[in-house]
């Protein structure tokens, strides 16, 4: 499956995403000519090669009339613009309905976030920074490039937001800005060590709309890499890296692994704790024998849980075990879509658990409890029952 992976170790902005995706296509001049013919009146985009911390990459610059993006007067030239005005502009552009809808959807996400921040209905939100023509061009460029690349799936790393404060039309706001914070809900983020705004509302909205999973890079055969450079300079290379290549099509889900080492609990007490974890909805719980300090035999106790439930299981592990500390790490789970159906057999109805098809492979397995109940009733072993079922379909 063609996969686009976005590495956002320095956050995300619309122009950085635009540049990173443009770096992945072969006919960049042809695309930019087409893009500038489509752009709203008065807007012109250009790309150039720049270096950040010794790394060469692409940068997008938008000129609106005689004002270049990044000019000192740039932050003071924005005119308020509503979602309705943005829609009116889009209706006049010669773009496909799919691209038009995607741009509208991204702006709707921003409008909803801004509306919540300011307590304003969505149709009355006035954009400021995100309402400028250069931001519209960035969003349009990303949507057109996604349409051209047509990836089978889009993944991204957790998002670095930066920290500190930022000046905007409303004054001095914390980083990440309130609207950005709302857009990033449900997405794994971290502050990092860079002071400054790394993730903008436009960047957050584009990632929220297009990215299907935020995780470590999957196993993939990389064919090309694009560097989208930001305008600001930081101690680290200010860029988004876009990886294009092939990966398997197995669905992945983020989860958290919580573990601790135990050498002073009885088997009974550990079993009681495990029961509590299962009751609370753990995805998996298991133990493994380990050697600990002073040559003591011990037990490694591990819980795998949904990301949003990690605090619940942190409390349960500290409460029901003797450990004084634990470890956490984010993991990626490959999970087949499953379904359970009932089939009539010579022994009566049996539940079958089936893994969804992928690459013409299907896994089917009878439920153990059904096999065990049949074995008890017929004075058989579980193995005999399983063999008697043959290969249920």
If you average pLDDT over residues 202-211, what whole number do you get?
Answer: 96
Q: Render 19-65 in DSSP notation, one character per residue.
A: HHHHTTSS-HHHHHHHHHHHSPTTEEEEEEEEEETTEEEEEEEEEET
If you average pLDDT over residues 188-201, what whole number do you get?
Answer: 93
Instruction: Examine the pLDDT at 321 and tell me if it is beyond 70.
Output: yes
Q: How far is CA 177 from CA 49, 180, 364, 384, in A?
A: 29, 5, 49, 64
Instruction: Examine the pLDDT at 3 and tell me if it is beyond 70.
Output: yes
**Percentage of residues in the chain with pLDDT exceeding 90?**
60
Instruction: Examine the pLDDT at 187 and tell me if it is beyond 70.
Output: yes
Top pLDDT among 204 and 66 is at 204
Residue 225 contacts by C-beta under 8 Å, 6 or more apart in sequence? 23, 241, 242, 243, 244
Instruction: Examine the pLDDT at 163 and tell me if it is beyond 70.
Output: yes
Q: How far apart are CA 114 and CA 79, in angstroms?
A: 16
Top pLDDT among 318 and 115 is at 318
What pLDDT, on the 0 to 100 scale, is given for residue 135?
84
4 neighbors 151 (Cβ within 8 angstroms): yes
Which two tokens mark 374? 């049949």
**Which residue, among 17, 4, 244, has the nearest Cα to 142 in the 3D structure?**
17
Instruction: Examine the pLDDT at 72 and tell me if it is beyond 60.
Output: no
Collapse the DSSP code of 233 into the 3-class scheme (helix H, G, I; strand E, B; otherwise coil) and give the result: coil
What pLDDT, on the 0 to 100 scale, is given for residue 226?
96
Instruction: Examine the pLDDT at 130 and tell me if it is beyond 50.
Output: no
Alpha helices in 150-230 (DSSP H): 178-183, 201-210
**Percentage of residues in the chain with pLDDT exceeding 70?**
87
Instruction: Examine the pLDDT at 364 and tell me if it is beyond 90.
Output: no
What pLDDT, on the 0 to 100 scale, is given for residue 129?
45
What pLDDT, on the 0 to 100 scale, is given for residue 244?
97
| Lowest-confidence region among 29-33, 86-90, 307-311, 388-392 | 388-392
Residue 91 contacts by C-beta under 8 Å, 6 or more apart in sequence? 100
Residue 133 contacts by C-beta under 8 Å, 6 or more apart in sequence? 40, 42, 43, 62, 64
If you average pLDDT over residues 44-61, what whole number do you get?
Answer: 92
In the beta sheet, which residues pair with residue 239? Answer: 229
What pLDDT, on the 0 to 100 scale, is given for residue 73?
44
Query: How many CB atoms within 10 Å of residue 213?
Result: 15
pLDDT tens per residue across span 219-238: 889 999 999 999 999 999 99
Q: How far apart are CA 159 and CA 6, in angstroms?
A: 10
What pLDDT, on the 0 to 100 scale, is given for residue 358?
53
* Angle between helical axes of 28-38 and 133-149 (0-180°, round to 10): 130
Instruction: Examine the pLDDT at 379 and tell me if it is beyond 70.
Output: yes
Top pLDDT among 391 and 381 is at 381
Highest mean pLDDT pick, 79-93, 328-342, 368-382: 368-382
Output the average pLDDT for the chain: 87
How many alpha carbons fall within 13 Å on the CB side of residue 29?
0
> What angle (nearest 5°) sits at the alpha carbon of residue 301, between those of residues 295 and 303?
160
pLDDT tens per residue across span 243-254: 999 887 666 677
What pLDDT, on the 0 to 100 scale, is given for residue 155?
94
If you average pLDDT over residues 312-324, what whole number do you get?
Answer: 97
If you average pLDDT over residues 183-187, what whole number do you get?
Answer: 93
Q: How far apart are CA 12 and CA 197, in angstroms?
A: 9
What pLDDT, on the 0 to 100 scale, is given for residue 96?
92
Assign 3-class secondary structure to 316-374.
HHHHHCCCCCCEEEEEEEECCCEEEEEEEECCEEEEEEEEEEECCEEEEEECHHHHHHH
pLDDT tens per residue across span 259-279: 999 999 999 999 999 999 999
Collapse the DSSP code of 245 into the 3-class scheme (helix H, G, I; strand E, B; otherwise coil) and give the result: strand
Highest mean pLDDT pick, 15-29, 168-182, 214-228: 15-29
Instruction: Examine the pLDDT at 1 and tell me if it is beyond 90.
Output: no
């Amino acid at each position: 499956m063609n996969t686009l992976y976005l590495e956002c170790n320095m956050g995300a902005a619309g122009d950085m995403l635009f540049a990173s995706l443009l770096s992945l296509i072969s006919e960049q001049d042809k695309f930019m000519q087409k893009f500038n013919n489509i752009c709203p009146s008065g807007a012109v985009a250009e790309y150039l090669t720049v270096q950040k911390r010794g790394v060469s990459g692409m940068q997008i610059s938008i000129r609106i009339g005689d004002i270049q993006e990044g000019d000192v007067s740039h932050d003071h030239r924005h005119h308020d613009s509503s979602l309705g005005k943005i829609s009116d502009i889009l209706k006049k552009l010669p773009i496909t309905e799919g691209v038009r809808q995607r741009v509208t959807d991204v702006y709707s996400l921003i409008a909803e976030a801004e509306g919540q921040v300011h307590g304003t209905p969505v149709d009355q939100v006035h954009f400021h920074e995100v309402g400028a023509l250069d931001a519209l061009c960035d969003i349009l460029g990303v949507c057109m490039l996604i349409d051209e690349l047509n990836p089978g799936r889009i993944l991204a790393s957790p998002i670095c937001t930066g920290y500190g404060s930022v000046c905007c039309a409303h004054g001095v706001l914390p980083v990440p800005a309130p609207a950005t914070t709302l857009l990033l809900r449900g997405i794994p983020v971290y502050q990092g060590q860079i002071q400054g705004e790394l993730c903008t509302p436009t960047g957050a909205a584009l990632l929220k709309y297009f990215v299907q999973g935020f995780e470590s890079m999957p196993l993939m055969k990389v064919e090309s890499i694009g560097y989208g450079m930001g305008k600001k300079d930081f101690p680290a290379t200010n860029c988004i890296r876009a990886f294009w290549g092939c990966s398997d099509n197995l669905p992945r889900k983020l989860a958290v692994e919580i573990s601790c080492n135990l050498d002073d609990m009885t088997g009974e007490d550990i079993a009681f704790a495990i029961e509590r974890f299962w009751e609370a909805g753990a995805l998996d719980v298991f133990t493994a024998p380990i050697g600990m300090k002073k040559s003591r035999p011990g037990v490694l106790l591990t819980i795998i849980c949904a990301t949003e439930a990690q605090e619940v299981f942190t409390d349960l592990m500290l409460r029901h075990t003797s450990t004084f500390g634990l470890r956490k790490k984010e993991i990626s789970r490959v999970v087949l879509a499953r379904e359970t159906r009932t089939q009539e057999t010579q022994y009566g109805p049996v539940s079958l658990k089936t893994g969804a098809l992928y690459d013409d492979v299907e896994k089917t397995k009878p439920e153990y409890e059904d096999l065990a109940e049949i074995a008890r009733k017929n004075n058989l072993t579980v193995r005999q029952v399983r063999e008697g079922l043959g290969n249920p379909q």
